[in-house]
Copies of this chain bind each other. A is one copy, B any other.
Amino acid sequence: MHRLSRRGFLGAGVGTVGAAAVACATPGGGEAAKGGQGDEATDAQGADAAPLAGQTVAFDGPHQAGVQTASQANLALISFDLNEGVDRAGVRRLMNLWTEDARALCGGKNPVGGLEPEMVQTPANLTITVGFGEPLFDKIGLPDQRPGFLHDIPAFEHDDLDPRWGQTDLVLQICGDDAISVAYAMRHMIRSGVDYAHTRWFQRGLSHADGSMADGTTPRNLFGQKDGTVNPHGDEEYDQQVWIDAAADGAPDWLDGGSVMVARRIAMHMDEWEKLDRNSREVVIGRDLPEGAPLSGGDEFTEPDLTKTDETGLPVIDPKSHMALSRDDEKYDAEQRLLRRPYTYDLEPEPGSGDASNSGLVFLCYQRNPDKQFSAIQRRLDGGDRLNEWITHIGSSVYALPPGVGEDGDSYWGQRLLEA
């Protein structure tokens, strides 16, 4: 009897769970195959003894994997700038290389020329996702192909952005349930691209382990909050909120079926937060801690009643709470919802800082248009969110994620852009 992980059943509408996840371009979403059993990979380890090892997420499909995929335990977000003199032809060669390498690694296969075949045998739901930053388009001589909404997130009053985590030409998001496989995939991708691009920053993140959360449970961050309750579920909501429809969104054709990732690094001031009692923590968020239910009642997935008042006439959900302010706009349900896929960072305090913690979120969100989605919400939060006292945005970058690759689409990442 073989146990499949919870992740095999989450994240996408089409529950394709089975063999040959690597080669197939599943109609309706390649990423749906998360948790499928890559036959190649399990031979080496013995499937029954290591149920997680050979689980693969389909690489090919209309959308890139790693977005509509249940969060894996580990994140390595690596950004790059092009090397001096690399032009559009160079980026085309890089994307050809990276696409082949990523497909092999995510399928538990040794990439061409790889000297460490032992290190690829446990993909454990590995996904590798590419993104293009605003500066790339001038460098490859295609400024007209830059989508209008691909620019720096507007400056907000409470931001304290460090250029160390700033905008770059390219990004790779590598996620997986085995930290060693993620570390190896990162090394391989960096080496593979070394003639074309060099690293700018790494952001490592952690989430709950595969098997540590019941199916459909929303993960918690270090403030103890459930984070991701209002995320989209199912293909229809992903189409509404996440995947770009080029014609409807006024986006260039090459981005049809893609998305936009906003990566914010958010420091969480643990020492101060932990001085609050539980009631205050719940007021700040607008939800209770045990269930993540709105303070107006119900369970985690009950719609909050922002108009409900207590016996003294005060609103039960503070209008300045994080949850209330996020939603306080008539456009919220119509166009501002987005996919959040946050990871926790928890590092050594900077030497000499005197801090006892260096923790926070690598907050990743995905949407069709960051001007209308992330920035619209963040403008409200910046103006009054009670939570601002305990968090600071310290890094910001934005990347257009080209659509997936496979039989019916691009043969390598960004083909329609790079052969424009």
Contact = CB atoms under 8 A, between A and B. Distances in A.
Contact of A1 (B1, B207, B344): B1
Nearest to A290: B118
Report copies per complex.
Answer: 2
A6 interface: yes
B209 A73 contact: yes
A201 interface: yes
A232 interface: no
Contacts of A211: 5, 50-53, 124, 210-211
A100 interface: no
Given A209-B209, A214-B49, A356-B190, A222 B6 contact: no
Determine the interface band of chain A, counting residues with CB < 8 A from chain B: 35 or more
A356 B212 contact: no
A417 interface: no
Given A51-B3, A118-B289, A348-B201, A206 B222 contact: no
Interface string A311-323: 0000000000000
Contacts of A210: 52, 209, 211
A202 B353 CA distance: 14
A254 to B, nearest CB: 30
Given A3-B51, A356-B199, A208 B190 contact: no
A190 B377 CA distance: 35
A204 B347 contact: yes
The 10 closest A-B pairs by CB, nearest first: A52-B211, A49-B214, A179-B206, A178-B212, A202-B348, A178-B209, A183-B346, A50-B214, A46-B214, A52-B212
Given A74-B179, A178-B208, A180-B206, 12 more contacts: A50-B215, A52-B209, A53-B213, A73-B179, A115-B274, A178-B212, A179-B208, A183-B206, A190-B357, A199-B356, A201-B348, A204-B347
